[in-house]
Structure 1
Amino acid sequence: MSRAGPLVKFALLALLAAFLLAPQSFAGLFRPFAPGDTAPIYTQTPLLTLTVNHLLLVAAATLAAGLLAVGFAVAATRPAGRDVLPFARAVANLGQTFPPVAVLALAVPVFGFGPVPTLVALVLYGLLPIFETTLTGLEGLDPALMEAARGLGLTDRQRLVQVELPLALPMILAGIRLSAVIGLATATIGSTVAASTLGEVIISGLLTGNTAYVLQGGLVVSALAILIDAALRALERVAARRSGFPS
């Protein structure tokens, strides 16, 4: 089973790459789902281009959410920053309590159509998982280790960078993984405000009644989510081994 897992994921990666590089080769598979004489493969924008744009948007949002969430968690766990915790948690919860569609509706009048409103929605939506896991990781550190670090003469900043964050890294990566996977699915709605994402394929399929397009967009997003989840889980295991945590 342990060997089958990587092989299945490698096969999925190869299949996804083949489809994105030569989608017309799969036309026969999607023909039964395309109505009438409609083209079974979406060609208005190359699927590879949409996939790259989708990944770049999610990566930018996850990076921004990660920096904000980790910063909030670090501030909230400092002795002088306990008052920051309620504010940080409120900000992190904002994205989860405010639907992404509503964020888009509010962001478009400010930023206009394009990727920026989607980026704002994804950042807000991705804050909570990273914030909570980082907070858990930092608060769960062994006090004896922190005392030993103080005994070595490390400053507060040195303890944070050299001890606390490396030890909390597996938890931080877990939050980043959740945020990225959530972002991959949520980013599809960005096409409703002219962002270049795989949602363009899905929306086109829904508007024209072409199930083949809906399947193409949905399957590519699903495959990306599985592969990115697997890659980040592998990073978590490496970080856990280095920090001495059980993986």
Structure 2
Amino acid sequence: MPSLATLLRLAALLVLLAFFLQPAWFEPLLRPLVQANAPAIYDRGNLFWLTMLHLRTVFVATLAAALVAVSLAILVTREAGAEFLPLSRSLVNIGQTFPPVAVLALAVPIFGFGEKPTLIALFLYGLLPIFENALTGLTTLPPAVMEAARGAGMTERQRLFKIELPLALPVILTGIRLSVVISLATATIGSTVAARTLGEVIIAGLQSNNLAFVLQGGLIVAVLAVLIHDALQGLERALAGRAHV
């Protein structure tokens, strides 16, 4: 029987889909938040399309961050690359040192307005959690398993792809989950440099003093963050279970 938490997540997903398909159903709930004659439902664009663009931006940035961070973690956990660990840590900390707004301000003169500056900011911001978790996963593998792999005559490449990465995957996925949740919220500021994200809805609400717009943009991002966080967490548990079989 599904747990209460599962039922609540399913209800949140259904409400979100209903809002995309039939936003007029929710107008009576939002009407008290707006001034007379002001629209209660965001009418300056398609909310579903904006949500898809928002998710695409987060997906591309997280994928790029994961590829770079995991590659760096693999490099510094090899004997030949161990000396690059301090440098790698400094590189992945760049995103945490500079706020996303500062990265946007530096990137716009070079790449122009639009999605590119936002992707760069999210990429830099997502490196650290993925790198640290990948490093932890690759350096805490069961010694007995690694010794058995060496005893079986597996090469370093075979051990990496057949033993190390599969065993470390649940921990790596935890870092990706953290990166995704951070990026989902941070991506909203991309709309300040003309990126197509749900930040458009929030900014439009702030500019017109329309609390309904602000609430819509904020709640969609929040629901997406919760649903994606829980989905990835469930995948982590499944992978961890398989790793211990």
TM-score of the two chains, using structure 1 as the length reference: 0.97
Q: Across the two proteins, how many residue pairs are aligned to each other?
A: 245
Moved more, 81-90 or 155-164: 81-90
Partners of 1:164 and 1:65 in 2: CA distance? 20
Identity of aligned residues (%): 60
Q: Which residue of 2 aligns with 1:26?
A: 26
Q: Which residue of 2 aligns with 1:55?
A: 55
Q: Which residue of 1 aligns with 2:78?
A: 78
Letter in 2 for 1:24: A
**Cα distance per residue 1:139-171 (max 9 Å; x no partner):** 111222111101111111110000000000110
Q: Which residue of 2 aligns with 1:11?
A: 11
Partners of 1:120 and 1:21 in 2: CA distance? 32
Letter in 2 for 1:243: A
Letter in 2 for 1:213: F
Q: How does 1:201-240 map to 2 (within 5 A)?
A: 201-240=201-240
**Cα distance per residue 1:39-90 (max 9 Å; x no partner):** 0011111100110000010011111110011001000100111111111111
1:154 pairs with 2:150: no
1:109 pairs with 2:96: no
- After the TM superposition, which segments of 4 or more aligned residues of structure 1 sit over 6 Å from their partners? none
Q: How does 1:87-126 map to 2 (within 5 A)?
A: 87-126=87-126
Partners of 1:137 and 1:79 in 2: CA distance? 16
Q: Which residue of 1 aligns with 2:187?
A: 187
Moved more, 118-127 or 140-149: 140-149
Partners of 1:30 and 1:219 in 2: CA distance? 12
Partners of 2:21 and 2:195 in 1: CA distance? 22
Partners of 2:94 and 2:109 in 1: CA distance? 20
1:197 pairs with 2:197: yes
SS of structure 2 residue aligned to 1:29: helix
Partners of 1:2 and 1:99 in 2: CA distance? 41
- 1:21 is displaced (CA, Å) by 1.8
Over the aligned positions, Cα root-mean-square deviation in angstroms equals 1.1
- 1:2 is displaced (CA, Å) by 6.3
Partners of 1:96 and 1:242 in 2: CA distance? 33
**Cα distance per residue 1:119-157 (max 9 Å; x no partner):** 000000000000001101111112221111011111111
Unpaired segments ≥5 residues, structure 1: none
Partners of 1:225 and 1:59 in 2: CA distance? 13
Partners of 1:46 and 1:192 in 2: CA distance? 18
- 1:24 is displaced (CA, Å) by 2.0
- 1:230 is displaced (CA, Å) by 0.6
Unpaired segments ≥5 residues, structure 2: none
Q: Which residue of 1 aligns with 2:241?
A: 241
Q: How does 1:135-150 map to 2 (within 5 A)?
A: 135-150=135-150
Q: Which residue of 2 aligns with 1:43?
A: 43
TM-score of the two chains, using structure 2 as the length reference: 0.98
